[in-house]
Copies of this chain bind each other. A is one copy, B any other.
């Protein structure tokens, strides 16, 4: 199948949404935990978390403020903190359900049967997540072309089981049971294929073990 620019433009909108959302490949699926100034909590599944850099440790989050994650956006702007929580196979249905349009008064934690967990920060973690981290809001960059926003957060705390982190800092996401997603609504587990050595021009990459 060969889809050109014109057919993309004239396509049924729902069809195009499914197509373009799945075209970019597998994505991280994370639950973003926030609270408002009255400590009412909110939880939203997002597939737009992206690594920005390690020094300082920054992540990006693409948000469309007019859609479901609008409470998340308001909470981040008001409290300056949000947690990012990995999703595992035994609660993908609960994680998916956080994308429903609940009222601001309802917490997705209780509505979707997920448990809040706190450290010294006021934003809630998801207790069921094996890997989770807290971010402090750094800045927002408007993406004017399609009315979205890039939220930049600095990682200020990481919680995970000792056994999933290797001697070189690499996290074994597969051992932790982290899942991946495609499109708007499909979830997948993973199988290890290979880990390769650092690539250099005159040497073919070798398989590395943990």
Task: Please give the residue numbers on chain A whose beta carbons come within 8 Å of chain B beta carbons, in ascending order.
Answer: 1-5, 8, 11-30, 47-60, 62, 64, 84, 86, 89, 92-93, 96-103, 106, 111, 119, 131, 133, 138-139, 141, 143, 145-146, 148, 150, 152, 155-162, 165-166, 168-171, 173-174, 178-180, 182-183, 185-201, 204-205, 208
Given A25-B30, A182-B173, A194 and B93 touching (CB < 8 A)? yes
From B152, B162, B188, B205, contact of A192 by CB (8 A): B188
B25 in contact with A133 (CB, 8 Å) = no
Complex contacts, A150 vs chain B, CB 8 Å: 141, 143, 150
- Could you write out 28 A-B pairs with CB less than 8 Å apart? A1-B162, A1-B165, A2-B157, A3-B158, A18-B166, A23-B131, A24-B49, A25-B28, A25-B29, A26-B179, A26-B190, A27-B50, A27-B51, A50-B50, A52-B148, A53-B64, A53-B146, A56-B146, A58-B146, A60-B143, A92-B193, A93-B194, A93-B205, A100-B201, A141-B141, A141-B150, A186-B196, A187-B193
From B145, B168, B178, B185, contact of A14 by CB (8 A): B168
Complex contacts, A159 vs chain B, CB 8 Å: 1-3
